[in-house]
């Protein structure tokens, strides 16, 4: 596939600030640099003027940035929706086939376990027969006083040897393996569902993350509140705020 959409997206190599915006910012920055102390009422008034101008300019720049960015964000959302819609049938088929493959993998795992158990059972049976025949052959050899008994002992020894070869043959049988397609992997993924977070927290607190609700704290409590909850400290801090001017340079 060489292209997804018919339209061509043209974006500039970079962006640059206009000369007017550069000049407006520099003028405000110079006025800000001229404020070197706030020790008198006049200096405080002058500082307020500059701070309000800076805040107004920064607010205007941010508003302009959002305005300029909106078409780009809208374009991203359109492309995402188009690509999602375009691939939806394929993704649905992929998920359906993967579910079938999971069922096959589970069936293969059961088959492998069953065949391995059968292989182990065959080994245990062959090993038991070998041990029994070797013991019979040993006892027969010890009691072999007549030619008939000697022949019997030899026969039992041969049977024990054959049983040992049978054990070796069972051990040489390769263990069963799951059938997989090229590149296919079977992985176990851990899934988690918390059915009762309070019970979990009581039993294993390290598994639960608690965070303070700062919005609720500020809405319901102040440093002077009676019956302050344990583990909480509130205090007031002074902050000087110069209200922004309504105008902007754009």
23-61 per-position pLDDT tens digit: 999 999 999 999 999 999 999 999 999 999 999 999 999
pLDDT of residue 17: 94
- For the chain, how big is the Rg over CA atoms in Å? 42
Closest CA to 171 of 120, 130, 112, 118: 120
Band of residue 244 on the pLDDT scale cut at 50, 70, 90: low
pLDDT tens digit string along 155-187? Answer: 888 998 998 998 898 888 888 888 877 777 778
CA dihedral 200, 202, 207, 213 (to 10 degrees): 100
Torsion angles phi and psi, residue 72, rounded to 5: -65, -45
Q: Is the dihedral of CA 6, 7, 12, 15 positive or negative?
A: negative
pLDDT at 249 over 90: no
Domain ranges of the chain: 19-172
Phi, psi of 232 (to 5 degrees): -135, 135
- pLDDT value, residue 150: 86
- The 10s digit of each residue's pLDDT in 94-146 is 999 989 998 998 899 899 999 999 999 999 998 998 899 888 888 888 888 88
pLDDT (0 to 100) of residue 193: 92
How much is the pLDDT for 248? 53
Q: Give residue 64's pLDDT band: very low, low, confident or very high (50, 70, 90).
A: very high
Q: What is the pLDDT of residues 143-154, one digit of tens each?
A: 888 888 888 888
| pLDDT band per the 50, 70, 90 thresholds, residue 86 | very high
């Amino acid at each position: 596939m060489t292209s997804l959409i018919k339209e061509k997206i043209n974006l500039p190599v970079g962006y640059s600030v206009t000369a007017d915006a550069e000049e407006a910012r520099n003028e405000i920055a110079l006025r800000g640099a001229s404020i070197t102390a706030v020790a008198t009422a006049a200096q405080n008034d002058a500082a307020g003027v500059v701070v309000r101008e800076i805040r107004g300019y920064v607010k205007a720049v941010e508003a302009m940035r959002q305005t300029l960015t909106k078409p780009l964000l809208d374009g991203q959302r359109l492309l995402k929706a188009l690509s999602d819609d375009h691939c939806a049938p394929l993704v649905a088929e992929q998920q359906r086939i993967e579910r079938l493959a999971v069922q096959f993998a589970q069936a293969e795992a059961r088959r492998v376990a069953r065949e391995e158990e059968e292989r182990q059972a065959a080994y245990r049976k062959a090993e038991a027969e070998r041990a029994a025949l070797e013991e019979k052959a040993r006892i027969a050899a010890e009691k072999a006083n007549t030619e008939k008994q000697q022949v019997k002992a030899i026969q039992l020894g041969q049977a024990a040897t054959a049983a040992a070869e049978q054990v070796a043959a069972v051990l040489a049988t390769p263990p069963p393996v799951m059938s997989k397609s090229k590149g296919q992997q079977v992985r176990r993924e851990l899934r988690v569902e918390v059915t009762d977070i309070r019970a979990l927290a009581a039993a294993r607190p390290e598994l639960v993350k608690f965070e303070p609700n700062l919005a609720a704290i500020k809405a319901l409590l102040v440093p002077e509140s009676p019956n302050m909850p344990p583990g909480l400290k509130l205090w007031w801090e002074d902050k000087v705020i110069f209200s922004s001017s309504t105008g902007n340079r754009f």
